[in-house]
């Protein structure tokens, strides 16, 4: 962990002279503050004092000023770099038995956050045009790619909440370079998009999502059983935002497996979902990762 922090500090050109609140200690205290039921800085510093005394170290000041200043010295990019490098280090040591049929499965999901209403935040993350001036807080969209084998975040991004390329699909395009041929992307129903599924397939990456706006008709296509078939999804009409040459690059259709899956979890109501995937091999049992897909969609 110290090697990862040292690398992130060097890459972000962060200078540090504080002996109590080193980068590792500051990060540890900050994570504890976020995860604790009491989010106050005073409680976070009190936890550090208890930790130092338990290790025979000298008690530090209970004032929160030094901790707040140390936390502010860490740039935003530092936290994202540490998260990426830590996650990738964890994934590199994953036992092959934890993979799904020898393939890496990644979960993609996104959300939104609001931030303090400062002039700096408003400039970096402006509010949508529909928002009345002077009301609300600066919003941002966040997205992350999780490793299903170890549960760690291996890549993440943050952008403005509204604007061209700032949607969840737009964020996916900025993060999918982390995928390698043979990987599987697991996502919610919003990612059930013809264009993104085709572009992932061209990279050798399969996708598994819940069916979104389409209606599954299991009387059509190549039937493999009750509620399980392969169908062709035709290319959608050309949007005005792209030129004809770009539109002609993808194939005219995409082969997709649609399958009805019954998900049973102790303590939860049984749910039946229709899954769309570019995994076309009949032996593939999708139930283990469909449960994760259901969690993403909810």
- pLDDT, averaged per 10 consecutive residues of the chain (298 residues), comes to 71 71 86 90 94 91 90 83 88 90 92 85 81 79 92 90 79 91 92 89 92 88 88 84 77 91 83 89 60 50
Q: Which residue has the tokens 């049973």?
A: 264
What pLDDT sits at residue 120? 84
Give me the residues paired with residue 277 across strands. 208, 257
Alpha carbon of 266 to those of 263, 270, 295: distances in Å?
10, 9, 14
Answer whether residue 197 is part of any domain.
no
Alpha carbon of 170 to those of 32, 103, 150, 155, 238: distances in Å?
32, 25, 26, 15, 18
Q: How far apart are the first and last CA of the chain?
A: 33
Of 257, 210, 206, 196, give the one whose Cα is nearest residue 231. Answer: 257
Based on the fold, state whether residues 54 and 135 are members of the same structural domain: no
Last residue of a domain, one of 47, 74, 101: 74
- CA max distance for the chain: 74
CB count within 10 Å of CB 80 equals 18
Number of compact structural domains in the chain: 3
**CA 298 from centre of chain:** 15
What pLDDT sits at residue 290? 57
Burial 263-282 (b: 16+ CB within 10 A, else e): beeeeeeeeebbbbbbbeee
Helix (H) or strand (E) holding 29: helix 23-35
What pLDDT sits at residue 285? 60
Question: What is d(CA 55, CA 69) in angstroms, rounded to the nearest whole number?
Answer: 24
Token couple for 268: 């939860």
Based on the fold, state whether residues 62 and 88 are members of the same structural domain: no
Based on the fold, state whether residues 70 and 85 are members of the same structural domain: no
**Boundaries of domain holding 70:** 2-74
Based on the fold, state whether residues 172 and 116 are members of the same structural domain: yes
Based on the fold, state whether residues 94 and 127 are members of the same structural domain: yes
Q: Which long-range contacts (CB under 8 A, 24 or more apart) does 160-167 make?
A: 160/124, 160/125, 160/126, 161/112, 161/125, 161/127, 161/128, 162/128, 162/129, 166/141, 167/141
Question: What is d(CA 128, CA 126) in angstroms, rounded to the nearest whole number?
Answer: 7
Last residue of a domain, one of 161, 178, 195: 178
Question: What is d(CA 80, CA 160) in angstroms, rounded to the nearest whole number?
Answer: 16
Answer whether residue 191 is part of any domain.
no
Based on the fold, state whether residues 99 and 145 are members of the same structural domain: yes
Strands 206-210 and 253-263: unpaired
Based on the fold, state whether residues 85 and 59 are members of the same structural domain: no
Question: What is d(CA 297, CA 267) in angstroms, rounded to the nearest whole number?
Answer: 18
Question: What is d(CA 154, CA 133) in angstroms, rounded to the nearest whole number?
Answer: 37
Of 214, 200, 31, give the one whose Cα is nearest residue 106. Answer: 200
């Amino acid at each position: 962990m110290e090697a990862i922090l040292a690398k992130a500090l060097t890459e972000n050109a962060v200078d540090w002279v504080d002996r109590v609140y080193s980068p590792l200690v500051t990060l540890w205290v900050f994570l504890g503050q976020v995860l604790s039921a009491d989010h106050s800085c005073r409680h976070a510093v009190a936890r550090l004092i208890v930790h130092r005394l338990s290790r025979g170290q000298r008690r530090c000041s209970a004032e929160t000023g030094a901790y707040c200043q140390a936390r502010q010295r860490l740039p935003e990019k530092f936290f994202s770099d540490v998260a990426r490098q830590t996650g990738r280090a964890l994934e590199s040591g994953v036992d092959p038995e934890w993979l799904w049929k020898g393939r890496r499965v990644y979960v993609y999901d996104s959300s939104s956050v609001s931030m303090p209403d400062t002039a700096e935040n408003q400039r970096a993350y402006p509010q949508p045009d529909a928002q009345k001036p002077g009301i609300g807080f600066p919003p941002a969209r966040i997205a992350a790619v999780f490793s299903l084998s170890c549960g760690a975040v291996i890549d993440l991004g943050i952008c403005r909440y509204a604007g061209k390329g700032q949607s969840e699909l737009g964020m996916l395009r900025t993060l999918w370079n982390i995928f390698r041929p043979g990987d599987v992307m697991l996502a919610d129903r919003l990612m059930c998009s013809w264009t993104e599924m085709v572009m992932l397939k061209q990279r050798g990456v399969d996708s598994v999502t819940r069916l979104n706006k389409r209606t599954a008709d299991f009387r059509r296509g190549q039937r493999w059983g009750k509620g399980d078939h392969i169908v062709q999804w035709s290319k959608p009409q050309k949007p005005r935002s792209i030129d004809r040459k770009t539109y002609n690059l993808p194939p005219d259709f995409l082969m997709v497996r649609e399958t009805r899956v019954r998900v049973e979890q102790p303590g939860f109501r049984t749910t039946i979902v229709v899954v769309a995937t570019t995994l076309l091999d009949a032996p593939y049992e999708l139930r283990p990762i469909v449960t994760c897909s259901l969690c993403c969609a909810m």
